[in-house]
Chain A
Amino acid sequence: MPRYGMVIDLNKCTQCEACITVCKLENNVQIVSKENAEMGRAMFWMNMLTKNYEGDFPNIRPETLPVSCMQCDEPSCIKVCPVRATYKRDDGIVAQIYPQCIGCRYCMANCPYTAKVFNWFKDEQPVEIEKSYNPDVSVRPKGIVEKCTFCIHRLQKAKEQAKAEHRKLREKDYQPACAEVCSADAIYFGDLDDPNSKVSKVMKDYRRFALQEELGTKPKVQYLSAMSE
């Protein structure tokens, strides 16, 4: 059984935020109104955090960090869920069961990465946007929690394709939208248990680090630190 993981090279990242945009489109993540976004209800499965600013205006160099669900091997969110609406699959992906969630938001309170988002309102979009919804991903109802799933629907599709073609799943068959779209090739994605996969090779880089490893959550989304010139 594979164990999917991701490494983001911050040295390559150009802060273009294409991963964030494509993630919203790929997964039909609700676009909220301006007022709600200002209240802190903007919904992102992948978010860009600004750690630091260097330099003075107008020559600012922000130090940023693309953050999605860390897909922890020891997730603190599934521990507290009262109804098993979030669980870890055998392939390591921390998944959500939308019809099971009661919306208590306990998992959000216990996520040290603040990676989960809540549907505060019903998803209501202009017809043009609704037409462009990804048919592979369900639109979530109001009142439940959601988060990054490593584009699990793509895995499903790739598996079926491979089965139909009587072959094994190849690494390039299954890539989440963010990894695919990244123009700088800063996002590596694949099987961490396969020593020959690109991602497990990159994992050995001396620049590798993970967020809040000290909490023991064992995140499967990790980073390569940016080198300063």
Chain B
Amino acid sequence: MEEDIKPDKKINIKGLVCPYTFVKAKLAVEDMEVGQVLEILLDYEEASRSIPKSMEDHGQKVLKVEKINDTDWVLVIRKEKE
């Protein structure tokens, strides 16, 4: 069900490495309203694990982590708190 959620915002952080992957993702979440959904496209494998973990540590909800091809991942995060 949650797979069909339409993101309110999309960011492409391909080419970025840690910690800038999370910096960009976090700043994007900060600019959104609680309840809105962010879709993140990235190609740095470590960030496909670290961003979901950090987002959960910060109280946000990870709806999806998906490897979409040889190089890229898509993460879907819902903002749960300011």
Are chains A and B native binding partners rather than an unrelated pairing? no
A residues near B (Cβ < 8 Å) are: none
